[in-house]
Structure 1
């Protein structure tokens, strides 16, 4: 009986949450993963499940694991594996992706290699194995540089892109939509995903908002070490923002709950869902949350005009040099239409509010469990 769901990207940040929710619902799961120098593919997946159990105090069934690689044709699976998928697998939840921003003009590298070519390889596997139900974790930022209202039914409307990540995810969606052999195609477009709303947990404190959290950690740590004063910092700092820029931030627990709810309700398939916040926050919310956590004041929002480099303080220069990669994300973000999402999830799964308490948890976990420990290891 074909009842298994193939999950790709099960070891990743969102993937671990998807795996947990599938297993706790006793939905038969099969994963394809790579081995590494320390563990086989199977050992990696079982280690992930054990970590989930330890963190959540749950006992979970084990998934089936095949060794394979997203960047290989048909994921590098042999005839036995493909026959197994043909006999047992009814759907794919394609979550694996690269979050690298740029490929330096070489589309044989990530993010194109994983996000576009990898998706094509998953599609090829589905075709030969007779899998006709496809669920794809895309991104709300297939909208590229748009700043108007982005509707769920839209994809390519002639927009430009801030980076290769956005464009490669758009092309992956196009490849899936163009695969006529599929009977069902469901697209999930998360906004900026941060840690668990309940405790701030993240397994990937190395992208998006976390870059800014780590910068704040390093800067305030250096300043306090220089002055010998662990107390409040006065940090005169001019930010080239108004403070009112929209920030579409969602927590990983809600994203996983939303995807699994939609996946397990067939009447909700064959749609595109903008998994974006009902109540976006602002850049001021983020900055004030960071200032509160790291105990400093002095931030001034000076509008959208850049602060001339010749007039920047040392701290400002450090920040603008660090943040240049993400400058395209400083602008006001689009309004994301949530018509399908609200219809399917509005009353069932409202998005957690990123209020002050939640923001402090989101900041605290990576500082306490990642950045502070890394700094201690460096100095010891």
Structure 2
């Protein structure tokens, strides 16, 4: 009898978790399990018409999910849950394979949202019930509630998981640093570029209409403000410069988002910047395929999926040093310091060397097609984690 595995697929749009969730569903279709996807039924049935899909609408950050997910899974006779983030309910009777992309909420100096924005996004009463369930709020200093809530979810995720997966060596080291006892159940989960957003043919950089592209939800750690200021410098130096940003506002960071949208508006008014959000796979593939450089200016990344997607489409990756993007790109990442002037200078230097760009573009695409970035590698890691989780339950 096949193991009945459920994937929490509620996140389907606008951020990296949603993209990774889809990759997990694709990879799990190659594993010998009975797969159930739960989340927004109509959306999931369009993406995976052959899969068993069950509607499940409990908000991710809610007492309905904390207390209700286990009952829901039991009604479906699920043997193992794949939980693709730290905020999926940790309280399930069936064993969990938990995927932790990074530990950025736990790091010193991280710019986190405050509880007012969390409550505005998920509902005041609902969030207060979650806080009551997970925290002793009476002992929390003012301004620390959001950080404590993140940590409570992480602590439970690590404690309750039968198997843990993470997506980069950097994230692996960070998780073990914060949770030394997790080392024995933590393994690597390689990711791959979604075939749906990889252009079939590779155009030379000189034949591409966009000088630069950036793909990510608007969050402080994604560093869009610095990047947009750098792009503005590029355009002021060379009025032929053209760029595209693909991303959506985050209700968790309204002030930051407002600043990003202001700079986007200025770029669009100048005629040099495109902005897209909520676009389909074909459109995203066309934008990647039209861009010479993929800019990943993040100050912290669990993996850096846009870097891999860009490379798969022949983009040259420009990123800040010291993040997991270095693991993804290997020797083919171009580093810039975290300032508009440095990023602008790096882009201008690259764009002035068409011959070098041709070589880097081809090398980037070859790197993205390497054996470590394949559906088969992801499926193998998931299969191993499911087996470990199932053994843990039997034990």
TM-score, with normalisation over the residues of structure 1? 0.39
More helix by share: 2
TM-score (norm 2): 0.37
